[in-house]
Protein backbone atom coordinates (compact mmCIF):
# COMPACT_ATOMS: atom_id res chain seq x y z
CA UNK A 1 0.00 0.00 0.00
CA UNK A 2 1.32 3.43 -0.96
CA UNK A 3 2.05 5.72 1.96
CA UNK A 4 0.75 9.29 2.09
CA UNK A 5 3.33 11.82 0.97
CA UNK A 6 4.25 15.34 2.00
CA UNK A 7 5.23 18.11 -0.44
CA UNK A 8 8.69 17.83 -1.91
CA UNK A 9 11.46 19.75 -0.17
CA UNK A 10 14.74 20.76 -1.77
CA UNK A 11 16.74 19.60 1.24
CA UNK A 12 15.88 17.43 4.23
CA UNK A 13 18.02 17.46 7.35
CA UNK A 14 17.62 14.52 9.73
CA UNK A 15 18.52 15.55 13.26
CA UNK A 16 18.03 18.85 15.08
CA UNK A 17 21.00 18.71 17.39
CA UNK A 18 24.17 20.75 17.01
CA UNK A 19 24.90 19.33 13.54
CA UNK A 20 21.42 19.92 12.19
CA UNK A 21 21.22 23.43 13.63
CA UNK A 22 24.64 24.31 12.19
CA UNK A 23 23.64 23.04 8.74
CA UNK A 24 20.36 24.94 8.74
CA UNK A 25 22.00 28.16 9.90
CA UNK A 26 24.67 27.96 7.20
CA UNK A 27 22.01 27.43 4.53
CA UNK A 28 20.54 30.78 5.47
CA UNK A 29 23.83 32.58 6.12
CA UNK A 30 25.67 31.48 2.98
CA UNK A 31 22.95 30.64 0.46
CA UNK A 32 19.79 32.35 1.70
CA UNK A 33 18.14 28.94 1.26
CA UNK A 34 14.81 28.49 3.00
CA UNK A 35 13.48 25.45 1.12
CA UNK A 36 14.43 22.80 3.64
CA UNK A 37 12.82 20.62 6.31
CA UNK A 38 14.47 19.46 9.51
CA UNK A 39 13.18 16.45 11.42
CA UNK A 40 14.08 14.94 14.77
CA UNK A 41 12.72 12.07 16.84
CA UNK A 42 12.75 14.34 19.89
CA UNK A 43 9.97 16.87 20.34
CA UNK A 44 12.31 19.84 20.70
CA UNK A 45 15.40 21.35 19.09
CA UNK A 46 18.73 20.57 20.71
CA UNK A 47 19.46 16.89 20.08
CA UNK A 48 21.38 15.30 22.94
CA UNK A 49 21.09 18.54 24.91
CA UNK A 50 17.31 18.36 24.67
CA UNK A 51 17.15 14.67 25.59
CA UNK A 52 19.71 14.52 28.41
CA UNK A 53 18.38 16.26 31.50
CA UNK A 54 19.85 14.14 34.29
CA UNK A 55 21.10 15.94 37.42
CA UNK A 56 24.58 17.38 36.93
CA UNK A 57 24.48 17.17 33.13
CA UNK A 58 26.99 19.61 31.64
CA UNK A 59 29.43 20.02 28.79
CA UNK A 60 32.96 18.73 29.42
CA UNK A 61 34.89 21.22 27.30
CA UNK A 62 35.00 24.97 28.03
CA UNK A 63 31.72 26.54 26.97
CA UNK A 64 33.34 29.26 24.87
CA UNK A 65 34.75 26.55 22.60
CA UNK A 66 31.36 24.82 22.42
CA UNK A 67 29.74 27.58 20.39
CA UNK A 68 29.38 28.21 16.67
CA UNK A 69 31.95 30.54 15.12
CA UNK A 70 29.12 32.70 13.78
CA UNK A 71 27.26 32.83 17.10
CA UNK A 72 29.57 33.33 20.10
CA UNK A 73 27.87 33.44 23.47
CA UNK A 74 28.95 35.84 26.23
CA UNK A 75 26.49 34.77 28.93
CA UNK A 76 27.66 31.37 30.15
CA UNK A 77 27.85 31.52 33.94
CA UNK A 78 30.37 28.67 34.32
CA UNK A 79 33.49 27.60 32.44
CA UNK A 80 31.74 24.26 31.84
CA UNK A 81 28.09 25.25 31.30
CA UNK A 82 25.17 23.13 32.42
CA UNK A 83 22.78 21.31 30.10
CA UNK A 84 20.17 24.02 30.58
CA UNK A 85 22.60 26.75 29.51
CA UNK A 86 23.76 24.82 26.44
CA UNK A 87 20.17 24.07 25.43
CA UNK A 88 19.19 27.72 25.89
CA UNK A 89 22.10 28.75 23.67
CA UNK A 90 21.20 26.27 20.91
CA UNK A 91 17.54 27.28 21.07
CA UNK A 92 18.43 30.96 20.77
CA UNK A 93 20.63 30.34 17.73
CA UNK A 94 17.92 28.22 16.09
CA UNK A 95 15.38 30.98 16.69
CA UNK A 96 17.69 33.72 15.41
CA UNK A 97 18.22 31.89 12.11
CA UNK A 98 14.63 30.70 11.75
CA UNK A 99 15.44 27.01 12.12
CA UNK A 100 12.41 26.52 14.35
CA UNK A 101 10.10 27.44 11.46
CA UNK A 102 11.38 24.47 9.44
CA UNK A 103 11.48 22.00 12.35
CA UNK A 104 9.10 19.13 13.03
CA UNK A 105 9.66 17.02 16.14
CA UNK A 106 8.52 13.52 17.00
CA UNK A 107 9.46 12.21 13.54
CA UNK A 108 11.52 9.04 13.10
CA UNK A 109 13.51 8.54 9.90
CA UNK A 110 13.05 4.92 8.82
CA UNK A 111 14.62 4.75 5.36
CA UNK A 112 15.61 6.41 2.08
CA UNK A 113 15.83 5.31 -1.57
CA UNK A 114 17.62 7.09 -4.42
CA UNK A 115 15.38 7.61 -7.46
CA UNK A 116 17.62 7.65 -10.53
CA UNK A 117 14.85 8.78 -12.86
CA UNK A 118 13.99 11.94 -10.91
CA UNK A 119 17.44 12.38 -9.32
CA UNK A 120 15.85 12.67 -5.90
CA UNK A 121 15.72 10.88 -2.59
CA UNK A 122 12.48 9.38 -1.31
CA UNK A 123 12.42 9.24 2.47
CA UNK A 124 10.16 7.16 4.67
CA UNK A 125 9.34 8.80 7.99
CA UNK A 126 7.13 7.91 10.93
CA UNK A 127 5.21 10.13 13.31
CA UNK A 128 6.16 8.70 16.70
CA UNK A 129 3.02 10.05 18.38
CA UNK A 130 0.52 8.45 16.00
CA UNK A 131 2.57 5.60 14.54
CA UNK A 132 1.59 6.67 11.02
CA UNK A 133 4.20 6.73 8.26
CA UNK A 134 4.62 9.01 5.26
CA UNK A 135 7.07 9.69 2.45
CA UNK A 136 8.76 12.85 1.27
CA UNK A 137 11.09 13.63 -1.63
CA UNK A 138 14.14 15.87 -1.61
CA UNK A 139 17.07 16.69 -3.85
CA UNK A 140 19.63 16.74 -1.05
CA UNK A 141 19.63 14.56 2.06
CA UNK A 142 21.68 15.49 5.12
CA UNK A 143 22.24 13.01 7.95
CA UNK A 144 22.83 15.01 11.11
CA UNK A 145 22.08 11.96 13.26
CA UNK A 146 24.47 11.85 16.19
CA UNK A 147 25.88 8.93 18.11
CA UNK A 148 24.31 9.73 21.48
CA UNK A 149 20.78 8.79 20.51
CA UNK A 150 19.86 5.26 21.57
CA UNK A 151 20.81 4.37 25.16
CA UNK A 152 22.26 0.96 25.90
CA UNK A 153 19.49 -1.29 27.16
CA UNK A 154 20.01 -3.20 30.38
CA UNK A 155 20.84 -6.83 29.62
CA UNK A 156 21.50 -8.10 33.14
CA UNK A 157 19.53 -11.27 33.97
CA UNK A 158 16.55 -10.63 36.22
CA UNK A 159 16.16 -6.95 35.34
CA UNK A 160 12.58 -7.59 34.28
CA UNK A 161 11.72 -8.73 37.83
CA UNK A 162 12.96 -5.55 39.53
CA UNK A 163 10.10 -3.77 41.32
CA UNK A 164 11.75 -0.35 41.49
CA UNK A 165 12.57 2.06 38.69
CA UNK A 166 15.35 1.48 36.15
CA UNK A 167 16.28 4.79 34.54
CA UNK A 168 18.92 5.60 31.92
CA UNK A 169 20.55 9.01 32.27
CA UNK A 170 19.49 9.83 28.70
CA UNK A 171 15.84 9.15 29.55
CA UNK A 172 15.74 10.81 32.93
CA UNK A 173 12.48 10.77 34.85
CA UNK A 174 12.03 13.87 36.96
CA UNK A 175 9.00 12.35 38.66
CA UNK A 176 11.17 9.78 40.47
CA UNK A 177 12.26 10.96 43.92
CA UNK A 178 15.62 9.60 45.10
CA UNK A 179 15.26 10.97 48.62
CA UNK A 180 16.24 8.35 51.23
CA UNK A 181 16.47 5.64 48.56
CA UNK A 182 19.11 2.97 48.08
CA UNK A 183 20.42 3.79 44.62
CA UNK A 184 22.61 1.76 42.27
CA UNK A 185 24.52 3.64 39.59
CA UNK A 186 25.83 1.39 36.83
CA UNK A 187 28.69 2.96 34.91
CA UNK A 188 31.66 5.24 35.56
CA UNK A 189 31.94 7.30 32.38
CA UNK A 190 31.27 10.95 31.62
CA UNK A 191 27.61 10.96 32.66
CA UNK A 192 28.22 8.94 35.84
CA UNK A 193 30.85 11.31 37.20
CA UNK A 194 28.42 14.20 36.71
CA UNK A 195 25.39 12.36 38.09
CA UNK A 196 26.80 10.93 41.32
CA UNK A 197 27.83 14.24 42.96
CA UNK A 198 24.48 15.75 41.97
CA UNK A 199 22.39 13.10 43.75
CA UNK A 200 24.59 12.01 46.64
CA UNK A 201 22.93 14.37 49.13
CA UNK A 202 19.46 13.05 48.26
CA UNK A 203 19.99 9.31 48.30
CA UNK A 204 20.24 7.30 51.49
CA UNK A 205 23.05 5.25 49.99
CA UNK A 206 24.62 4.96 46.53
CA UNK A 207 26.47 1.92 45.26
CA UNK A 208 28.30 2.62 42.02
CA UNK A 209 29.24 -0.34 39.84
CA UNK A 210 32.09 0.09 37.36
CA UNK A 211 34.08 -2.01 34.92
CA UNK A 212 37.06 -0.33 33.24
CA UNK A 213 38.68 2.78 34.75
CA UNK A 214 39.26 5.97 32.75
CA UNK A 215 42.07 8.48 32.91
CA UNK A 216 40.62 11.26 35.03
CA UNK A 217 41.69 14.85 34.43
CA UNK A 218 41.06 17.74 36.80
CA UNK A 219 38.70 20.38 35.41
CA UNK A 220 37.76 23.07 37.92
CA UNK A 221 34.41 24.60 37.00
CA UNK A 222 34.90 28.24 37.90
CA UNK A 223 32.19 30.88 37.86
CA UNK A 224 32.36 33.52 35.14
CA UNK A 225 31.71 36.82 36.96
CA UNK A 226 28.98 39.14 35.67
CA UNK A 227 31.66 41.76 35.00
CA UNK A 228 33.43 39.52 32.51
CA UNK A 229 30.17 38.58 30.86
CA UNK A 230 29.38 42.27 30.41
CA UNK A 231 32.83 42.85 28.92
CA UNK A 232 32.31 40.00 26.45
CA UNK A 233 28.94 41.44 25.44
CA UNK A 234 30.30 44.93 24.81
CA UNK A 235 33.69 43.95 23.37
CA UNK A 236 32.82 40.87 21.28
CA UNK A 237 36.28 40.68 19.70
CA UNK A 238 37.55 39.46 23.09
CA UNK A 239 35.07 36.60 22.98
CA UNK A 240 36.18 35.65 19.47
CA UNK A 241 39.82 35.70 20.55
CA UNK A 242 39.13 33.64 23.68
CA UNK A 243 37.29 31.01 21.62
CA UNK A 244 40.10 30.96 19.06
CA UNK A 245 42.79 30.56 21.72
CA UNK A 246 40.89 27.69 23.36
CA UNK A 247 40.49 25.86 20.06
CA UNK A 248 44.13 26.43 19.11
CA UNK A 249 45.21 25.01 22.46
CA UNK A 250 43.01 21.94 21.93
CA UNK A 251 44.40 21.47 18.42
CA UNK A 252 47.91 21.72 19.81
CA UNK A 253 47.26 18.75 22.12
CA UNK A 254 46.66 16.48 19.11
CA UNK A 255 50.35 15.54 19.06
CA UNK A 256 49.72 13.50 22.22
CA UNK A 257 47.81 10.95 20.18
CA UNK A 258 50.43 10.49 17.46
CA UNK A 259 52.60 7.38 17.49
CA UNK A 260 55.83 9.32 17.80
CA UNK A 261 58.48 9.63 20.53
CA UNK A 262 57.16 13.10 21.35
CA UNK A 263 53.59 11.83 21.51
CA UNK A 264 54.58 8.91 23.72
CA UNK A 265 56.41 11.22 26.09
CA UNK A 266 53.37 13.52 26.29
CA UNK A 267 51.05 10.60 26.97
CA UNK A 268 53.29 9.42 29.78
CA UNK A 269 53.21 12.91 31.28
CA UNK A 270 49.41 13.00 31.03
CA UNK A 271 49.16 9.55 32.65
CA UNK A 272 51.35 10.75 35.50
CA UNK A 273 49.29 13.90 35.98
CA UNK A 274 46.08 11.87 36.03
CA UNK A 275 47.54 9.38 38.50
CA UNK A 276 48.73 12.14 40.82
CA UNK A 277 45.35 13.84 40.68
CA UNK A 278 43.55 10.63 41.65
CA UNK A 279 46.00 9.87 44.45
CA UNK A 280 45.75 13.40 45.85
CA UNK A 281 41.96 13.57 45.71
CA UNK A 282 40.34 10.11 45.92
CA UNK A 283 40.38 7.76 48.93
CA UNK A 284 43.32 5.36 48.84
CA UNK A 285 40.98 2.36 48.90
CA UNK A 286 39.80 3.31 45.39
CA UNK A 287 43.13 4.03 43.72
CA UNK A 288 43.42 0.60 42.12
CA UNK A 289 39.87 0.93 40.76
CA UNK A 290 40.36 4.43 39.37
CA UNK A 291 43.83 4.31 37.82
CA UNK A 292 43.95 2.55 34.41
CA UNK A 293 46.72 0.22 33.30
CA UNK A 294 46.33 1.12 29.62
CA UNK A 295 47.97 4.03 27.82
CA UNK A 296 46.54 7.53 27.94
CA UNK A 297 44.28 8.22 24.96
CA UNK A 298 43.04 4.67 24.38
CA UNK A 299 39.69 5.66 25.87
CA UNK A 300 37.95 8.95 26.35
CA UNK A 301 39.30 11.07 29.19
CA UNK A 302 37.04 11.99 32.07
CA UNK A 303 37.05 15.67 33.02
CA UNK A 304 36.34 15.75 36.73
CA UNK A 305 34.88 18.73 38.52
CA UNK A 306 33.83 17.20 41.83
CA UNK A 307 33.46 13.42 41.49
CA UNK A 308 36.68 12.40 43.25
CA UNK A 309 36.03 14.97 45.96
CA UNK A 310 32.59 13.43 46.44
CA UNK A 311 34.15 9.97 46.77
CA UNK A 312 36.35 11.35 49.54
CA UNK A 313 33.71 13.28 51.44
CA UNK A 314 30.48 11.31 51.07
CA UNK A 315 29.80 8.63 53.68
CA UNK A 316 26.86 7.21 51.74
CA UNK A 317 28.76 6.31 48.55
CA UNK A 318 30.58 3.10 47.69
CA UNK A 319 32.44 2.32 44.45
CA UNK A 320 32.97 -1.28 43.36
CA UNK A 321 34.11 -3.26 40.35
CA UNK A 322 32.47 -6.45 41.62
CA UNK A 323 30.61 -7.61 38.46
CA UNK A 324 26.82 -7.75 38.58
CA UNK A 325 25.48 -11.24 37.91
CA UNK A 326 21.76 -10.90 38.57
CA UNK A 327 19.02 -8.47 39.55
CA UNK A 328 16.24 -9.54 41.91
CA UNK A 329 13.00 -7.76 42.74
CA UNK A 330 14.77 -5.50 45.24
CA UNK A 331 18.52 -6.10 45.06
CA UNK A 332 21.61 -6.63 42.93
CA UNK A 333 23.70 -9.79 43.19
CA UNK A 334 27.42 -9.74 42.39
CA UNK A 335 30.03 -12.29 41.42
CA UNK A 336 31.57 -12.25 44.91
CA UNK A 337 28.23 -13.33 46.38
CA UNK A 338 27.27 -9.94 47.77
CA UNK A 339 23.65 -8.80 47.74
CA UNK A 340 23.11 -5.04 47.52
CA UNK A 341 19.63 -3.75 48.46
CA UNK A 342 18.37 -1.33 45.80
CA UNK A 343 15.27 0.85 45.35
CA UNK A 344 16.31 2.58 42.10
CA UNK A 345 18.79 1.57 39.39
CA UNK A 346 20.36 4.38 37.35
CA UNK A 347 22.08 3.42 34.10
CA UNK A 348 25.03 5.58 33.09
CA UNK A 349 25.98 3.04 30.46
CA UNK A 350 26.32 5.17 27.36
CA UNK A 351 24.82 4.68 23.94
CA UNK A 352 24.55 2.08 21.21
CA UNK A 353 26.12 3.57 18.07
CA UNK A 354 23.21 3.01 15.70
CA UNK A 355 23.35 6.17 13.58
CA UNK A 356 24.24 4.10 10.49
CA UNK A 357 21.51 1.49 10.87
CA UNK A 358 18.73 3.27 8.96
CA UNK A 359 18.46 1.55 5.54
CA UNK A 360 19.55 3.90 2.74
CA UNK A 361 19.55 2.50 -0.79
CA UNK A 362 21.92 4.25 -3.18
CA UNK A 363 22.28 4.30 -6.95
CA UNK A 364 23.25 0.62 -7.19
CA UNK A 365 20.32 -0.51 -5.04
CA UNK A 366 22.68 -1.45 -2.22
CA UNK A 367 22.42 -0.15 1.32
CA UNK A 368 25.31 1.79 2.74
CA UNK A 369 26.17 -1.20 4.94
CA UNK A 370 26.41 -3.41 1.86
CA UNK A 371 28.43 -0.69 0.14
CA UNK A 372 30.89 -0.57 3.04
CA UNK A 373 31.17 -4.35 3.11
CA UNK A 374 32.82 -4.13 -0.31
CA UNK A 375 35.66 -2.11 1.21
CA UNK A 376 35.85 -3.76 4.59
CA UNK A 377 35.42 -0.47 6.42
CA UNK A 378 33.22 2.63 6.51
CA UNK A 379 34.61 4.34 3.41
CA UNK A 380 33.63 7.99 2.94
CA UNK A 381 35.11 11.08 1.30
CA UNK A 382 36.37 13.30 4.12
CA UNK A 383 33.73 11.69 6.40
CA UNK A 384 30.87 13.49 4.62
CA UNK A 385 30.09 11.83 1.26
CA UNK A 386 29.86 8.35 -0.29
CA UNK A 387 30.34 7.09 -3.84
CA UNK A 388 27.05 5.83 -5.26
CA UNK A 389 24.91 7.90 -2.89
CA UNK A 390 24.39 11.18 -4.78
CA UNK A 391 23.55 14.32 -2.83
CA UNK A 392 23.69 12.44 0.46
CA UNK A 393 25.95 13.95 3.08
CA UNK A 394 26.95 13.22 6.67
CA UNK A 395 27.65 15.59 9.50
CA UNK A 396 29.81 13.83 12.09
CA UNK A 397 30.08 10.90 9.70
CA UNK A 398 32.25 7.78 10.00
CA UNK A 399 35.72 8.40 11.47
CA UNK A 400 35.00 12.04 12.29
CA UNK A 401 35.23 11.64 16.07
CA UNK A 402 38.00 13.43 17.96
CA UNK A 403 39.31 12.97 21.48
CA UNK A 404 41.07 16.29 21.80
CA UNK A 405 38.82 19.14 20.67
CA UNK A 406 35.30 20.56 20.61
CA UNK A 407 32.66 18.63 18.68
CA UNK A 408 31.23 21.93 17.45
CA UNK A 409 34.48 22.75 15.67
CA UNK A 410 34.45 19.37 13.92
CA UNK A 411 30.86 19.91 12.80
CA UNK A 412 31.61 23.35 11.35
CA UNK A 413 34.58 22.04 9.41
DSSP string, 284-347: GGGHHHHS-SSPTTSS--EEESSHHHHHHH-SSEEEE---EEEE-SSEEEETTS-EEE-SEEEE
pLDDT at residue 257, as a whole number = 78
pLDDT in tens, 165-218: 999 999 999 999 999 999 999 999 999 999 999 999 999 999 999 999 999 999
pLDDT in tens, 147-163: 778 898 889 999 999 99
- Report, as an integer, the average pLDDT of 13-26: 97
More confident residue, 247 or 403: 247
The pTM score is 0.93
Domain residue spans in the chain?
A: 5-149+354-412, 152-220+276-350
Helix axes 226-234, 236-252, angle to 10 degrees: 100
Domain 5-149+354-412 listed as CATH 3.50.50.60 = yes
SS3 of 75-97: CCCECCCEHHHHHHHHHHHHHHC
> Residue 156, SS3?
coil
Residue 403 has pLDDT above 70, yes or no: no
152-220+276-350 and 5-149+354-412 share a CATH fold = yes
**pLDDT-derived band at 5, boundaries 50, 70, 90:** confident
- Report, as an integer, the average pLDDT of 314-336: 97
Q: Alpha-carbon distance 219 to 62, whole Å? A: 9
Mean pLDDT of the chain: 93
**pLDDT-derived band at 266, boundaries 50, 70, 90:** confident
- Quick one: CATH architecture of 152-220+276-350? 3-Layer(bba) Sandwich (3.50)
Amino acid sequence: MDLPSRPRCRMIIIGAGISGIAMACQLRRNYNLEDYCIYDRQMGIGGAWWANTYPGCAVDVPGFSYTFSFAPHPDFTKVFPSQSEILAYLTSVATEYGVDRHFTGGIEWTGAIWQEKTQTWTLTLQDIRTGSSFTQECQILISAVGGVVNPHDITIPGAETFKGQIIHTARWRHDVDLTNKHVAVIGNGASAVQLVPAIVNKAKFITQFMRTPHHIVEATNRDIPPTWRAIFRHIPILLYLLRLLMLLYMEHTFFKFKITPRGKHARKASEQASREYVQSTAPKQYWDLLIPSYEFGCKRRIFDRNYLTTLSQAHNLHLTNDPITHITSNSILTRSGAEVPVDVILLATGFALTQYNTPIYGRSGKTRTQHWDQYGHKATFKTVAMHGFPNFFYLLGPNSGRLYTSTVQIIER
